[in-house]
Homo-oligomer: A and B are copies of this chain.
């Protein structure tokens, strides 16, 4: 309820930079019109971003005979941001410039049984080292590393509270990473990472209310309400995957029954396939990615079993997306993450038809349903965006001596005695 003037200043900084990234190069006058802020406020915010080295002056535009207007743009080389996507089946790391263009990539698949915290930390450290090396000695200063891990996280403490698919409990992930990485670290989860990626760079940009439906092994819904991520009192908002779709339905690892996730997460889709055709050749029992890819290819080839499974999945998904439409009345619902990307347009088509059957007509009339337009891994991009937001937050009381400590903006650590190996 208390929205301090500092919160407002931070939100305005984000809003102005978001518009600059979208429109670069752009005049302060255009930014004032696009954000609804006064020209004086915009000029102050642009000045701060110039001081932070995030923008550059890039010339002038004619203004119909008046004084030429100064244009600003993103200072792409003003710093680098790293996004880390820890998923149930892989670790992926990308290094971005300040315009959030990918400069380097690294990653590895996780084998079943290879998901103990120290194993995952090893993969992340190695991949971060790889992208920094690829970006080269001339690469810009790394402003921060955003890390996304499935499940519930305490972002301020840097702790993975509960990752259900791995049965992680209270893993101090950022502290483990800080033994190896000396950059500011930021933790959150994939549903919120996908959401901020859409807010800054995708289908939610400029929309008042949007929901980003994250379809992977687990599923969730990033809620972008009033132009900002809704986190809830304990940063756990968005657990749509664990809302009840079928009371007393399929058992879920969360302990409940009939959760949305058990019907539309990758393992749920595999179960839909198994129920439709127990011996299907599409099914790779130990490999979610291979199964979803096989299903997508079979749908494209008009295989009747695959088509039936897609429809069945879309029916569950449509009913659960209709719940979001009825409850939240968003302008746009974005289908994101790897399962949505793999099943693509055919899934979108079936989901739109199913939502139309389940949602109330009037809320639905105002809602668009789209696939994520982000061409790269939205979780890496969103995780890097958390690092960007951290770098933009007005300087708070960071521990002066560099000792470990959580802040609202990020997690800052003493330069490690065990530095990143140079290769």
Which chain B residue lies CB-closest to A2?
A: B36
For residues 346 through 369 of chain A, which have their beta carbon under 8 Å from a beta carbon of chain B?
357-358, 360, 362-363, 365-367
Chain A 198-236 interface mask (CB, 8 Å, partner B; 1/0): 000000001111000000000001010111101111111
Chain B residues with CB under 8 A of A161 = 362
Which chain B residue lies CB-closest to A208?
A: B1
Chain B residues with CB under 8 A of A249 = 247
A244 on the B face (CB < 8 A): yes
Of the listed stretches A119-127, A140-148, A296-304, A316-324, name the one at the interface; the rest are far from the partner chain.
A316-324
Chain A 329-347 interface mask (CB, 8 Å, partner B; 1/0): 1110000000000000000
Chain B residues with CB under 8 A of A234 = 329, 362-363, 365-366
CA–CA, A380 and B230, complex, Å: 30
CA–CA, A311 and B325, complex, Å: 29
| Cβ A233 vs Cβ B331 within 8 A | yes
Say which residue of B2, B206, B230, B363 sits within 8 Å of A328 (CB atoms).
B230
Chain A 94-110 interface mask (CB, 8 Å, partner B; 1/0): 00000000000000000
For residues 130 through 178 of chain A, which have their beta carbon under 8 Å from a beta carbon of chain B?
152, 161-162
| A312 CB, min distance to chain B CBs, angstroms | 12
A239 on the B face (CB < 8 A): yes
CA–CA, A331 and B226, complex, Å: 19
Chain B residues with CB under 8 A of A162 = 362
Which of A209, A358, A365 has the most C-beta atoms of chain B within 10 angstroms of its own C-beta? A358
14 A-B pairs with C-beta separation under 8 A = A1-B206, A1-B207, A1-B208, A2-B36, A3-B226, A162-B362, A225-B225, A232-B329, A232-B363, A233-B331, A234-B366, A238-B327, A243-B323, A243-B327
